Amino acid sequence: MNLGWKFFISHLFVGAVALLVLAFSTAFVAPETFSMRMRGGAMMRNPEQHNMMMAGLDQEIERDFRESVRSALWQAGIAAMFTAALVSWLVSSRIVKPIRQVAEASHHIAEGHYEQRLQAPSDDELGELVESFNCMAQKLAATESMRQRLIGDVSHELKTPLASIKGYMEGLQDGIIPATPETFQLIYCEAERLQRLVHDLQELSRAEAGALALDLHPRNLREIVATVIARLRPQFVDKGVALTLQGAEEALWVRVDRDRIEQVITNLLGNALQYTPSGGSVTVTVSRTEASVRLAVQDTGIGLASEDLTRVFQRFYRVDKSRSRTAGGGSGVGLTIARHIVEAHEGRLWAESAGLGQGSTFILELPLS
Ligand code: ADP
């Protein structure tokens, strides 16, 4: 039962009690007063007295009647007031108590105690309020822990190149490290990594805030894939990894932001190249399902353990951190951003692998335009 009904019934109840008392008083108390008066008059046997009395009787009847009604109303009023006070106390305590609890809990949360939760008092609007409050508290707690983790991750990521640059500079100052072009190149690489990281962080924050501005147009996915492949082919040739495009020949129309989808495909192909040793192969397959267009990037590289299939989409997650670093790997946010971009297009991105050393497949699915 909702609150509107509860209020209505409680007030109706107050009115009904008042009316009941009024009805009871006028039905029993007033006539009794009258009959007492009349009985008193009949006992007087003197006719003169009787006539005199009759003259004043009208006035007396009226006065008595008013008196009776007034006293009845007084009784009704007092009873109604007590009932109203009792009912409103009951109702307001039912409403005010949970509201006060919500107010107190909000203060707690404002002070940083995100674990605060409340028990829903009933299944009406108050219950809904408390449930929304709990939901908000839960989301705030998740955001806060994400924020803390992000600060930890970012400082960890910044620490390594900074420590390395500082180490080189100290070595150069002390004359331990020779001031050769190679040394400067190493320092330059570390500075570049910092720059890449800052760029990735900007992208990530935009993606996570859902602030990716998408310029959506109907595009042929097959054509986009072919463009990216043509651009990256020289790197595949350099490393000795075969790259093939197969699947549907016809145009596959999707409504996308071309640059963003190119960014996703570049990331998938870049990873496939990075984690596939020379002599391996990468196959890109485009196909059409009933309502979507699918792009699969399959490699014969190092593969992924089943527990890493979802983790690789978490920010800063790298399966083998040291290998990624030494192999010039990114900061581990590429796939996180890619998934955000795909989800902003109402599509899906996921990974499949038969296990370590068995290659992996990254599948991108976009709704058919
Ligand atoms: P990174 O910039 O480190 O490549 P990504 O978010 O693109 O970051 O990838 C996260 C991690 O997922 C990588 O560090 C790597 O461990 C793993 N990974 C991504 N693609 C592949 C792949 N094709 N084969 C094996 N592992 C992969």
What's the CATH number where 321 sits? 3.30.565.10
Q: Which two tokens stand for residue 332?
A: 């581990």
Contacts of 332 (CB under 8 A, 6+ apart): 315, 316, 317, 318, 324
**Does residue 92 sit in the same domain as residue 186?**
no
Q: What's the rounded mean pLDDT across residues 296-323?
A: 86
Containing structural domain, residue 138: 125-208
Ligand 1 neighbourhood includes 311 CB (under 6 angstroms): no
- Domain end marker among 150, 173, 208: 208
Is pLDDT at 323 greater than 80 in this prediction?
no
Distance from Cα 239 to the centre of ligand 1, integer Å: 18
* Number of domains forming the structure of the chain: 3
**Does residue 135 sit in the same domain as residue 243?**
no
Is pLDDT at 31 greater than 70 in this prediction?
no
| Number of DSSP helices (H) and strands (E) in the chain, helices first | 10, 7
**Does residue 187 sit in the same domain as residue 236?**
no
Between the two ends of the chain, the Cα-to-Cα distance in Å is: 46
Residue 277: inside a domain, yes or no?
Answer: yes
Question: Average model confidence (pLDDT) for the chain?
Answer: 84
Nearest-atom index, ligand 1, CA of 333: 6
Q: What's the rounded mean pLDDT across residues 162-176?
A: 92
Query: Could you tell me where the beta strands, DSSP code E, fall in the chain?
Result: 217-220, 242-247, 253-256, 281-288, 292-299, 348-353, 360-367
Distance from Cα 87 to the centre of ligand 1, integer Å: 65
- Domain end marker among 208, 233, 253: 208
Half-sphere exposure (Cβ direction) of 85: Cα atoms closer than 13 Å: 6
Residue 195: inside a domain, yes or no?
Answer: yes
Ligand 1 neighbourhood includes 359 CB (under 6 angstroms): no
pLDDT at position 242, please? Answer: 95
Distance from Cα 50 to the centre of ligand 1, integer Å: 116
Residues facing residue 299 across a β-bridge: 282
Q: What's the rounded mean pLDDT across residues 245-250?
A: 86
For the packed helices 334-344 and 181-208, what is the interaxial angle rounded to 10 degrees?
A: 30
**Does residue 36 sit in the same domain as residue 70?**
yes
Query: What is the spatial distance between Cα 268 and Cα 274, in angstroms, rounded to a whole number?
Result: 10
Residue 118: inside a domain, yes or no?
Answer: no
Q: Whose CA is nearest to atom 3 of ligand 1?
A: 332
Q: Which two tokens stand for residue 322?
A: 């040291």
The domain spanning residue 201 has which CATH number? 1.10.287.130
**Does residue 227 sit in the same domain as residue 97?**
no
Least confident range of 79-83, 94-98, 231-235, 324-328: 324-328
**Does residue 230 sit in the same domain as residue 345?**
yes
**Does residue 359 sit in the same domain as residue 221?**
yes
**Does residue 158 sit in the same domain as residue 198?**
yes
Residue 116: inside a domain, yes or no?
Answer: no
Q: What's the rounded mean pLDDT across residues 205-212?
A: 81
pLDDT at position 143, please? Answer: 82
Nearest-atom index, ligand 1, CA of 359: 24
Is pLDDT at 43 greater than 90 in this prediction?
no
Contacts of 231 (CB under 8 A, 6+ apart): 266
Is pLDDT at 48 greater than 90 in this prediction?
no
**Does residue 44 sit in the same domain as residue 177?**
no
**Does residue 145 sit in the same domain as residue 51?**
no
Residue 117: inside a domain, yes or no?
Answer: no
Ligand 1 neighbourhood includes 299 CB (under 6 angstroms): yes
- State the pLDDT confidence band at 326, using cuts at 50, 70 and 90: very low
Distance from Cα 308 to the centre of ligand 1, integer Å: 10
pLDDT in tens, 11-27: 778 777 877 877 777 76
Ligand 1 neighbourhood includes 330 CB (under 6 angstroms): yes
- Domain end marker among 62, 81, 110: 110
Supply the DSSP symbol for 361: E
pLDDT > 70: percent of the chain: 87
- State the pLDDT confidence band at 300, using cuts at 50, 70 and 90: very high
pLDDT at position 4, please? Answer: 61
Ligand 1 neighbourhood includes 197 CB (under 6 angstroms): no
**Quick check: 276 and 301 in contact, CB under 8 A?**
yes
Residue 115: inside a domain, yes or no?
Answer: no
Query: What is the spatial distance between Cα 218 and Cα 255, in angstroms, rounded to a whole number?
Result: 4
Closest CA to 368 of 266, 295, 308: 295
Which whole-number Å values give the CA distances from 84 to 14, 22, 274, in the listed order?
Answer: 5, 15, 77
Query: What is the spatial distance between Cα 149 and Cα 298, in angstroms, rounded to a whole number?
Result: 32
**Does residue 242 sit in the same domain as residue 350?**
yes
Nearest-atom index, ligand 1, CA of 319: 16
Is pLDDT at 61 greater than 60 in this prediction?
yes
pLDDT in tens, 106-162: 999 988 888 888 888 788 888 888 999 999 999 888 888 878 877 887 888 888 889
- State the pLDDT confidence band at 272, using cuts at 50, 70 and 90: very high
Ligand 1 neighbourhood includes 273 CB (under 6 angstroms): no
Residue 248: inside a domain, yes or no?
Answer: yes
**Does residue 232 sit in the same domain as residue 363?**
yes
Residue 120: inside a domain, yes or no?
Answer: no
Which whole-number Å values give the CA distances from 258 to 63, 221, 234, 264, 337, in the listed order?
Answer: 94, 9, 22, 10, 15
Q: What's the rounded mean pLDDT across residues 265-278?
A: 95
The residue ranking higher by pLDDT, 33 or 209, is 209
Contacts of 200 (CB under 8 A, 6+ apart): 330, 331, 333, 334, 337
**What is the pTM (predicted TM-score) of this model?**
0.65
Q: Whose CA is nearest to atom 9 of ligand 1?
A: 332
**Assign residue 239 a region: left if phi > 0, alpha if psi is -120 to 50, beta otherwise?**
alpha
Ligand 1 binding pocket mutation candidate from 201, 236, 274, 318 (most atoms within 8 A of CB): 318
Closest CA to 294 of 351, 348, 343: 348
Measured torsion, CA atoms of residues 296, 302, 307, 310, in degrees rounded to the nearest 10: -30
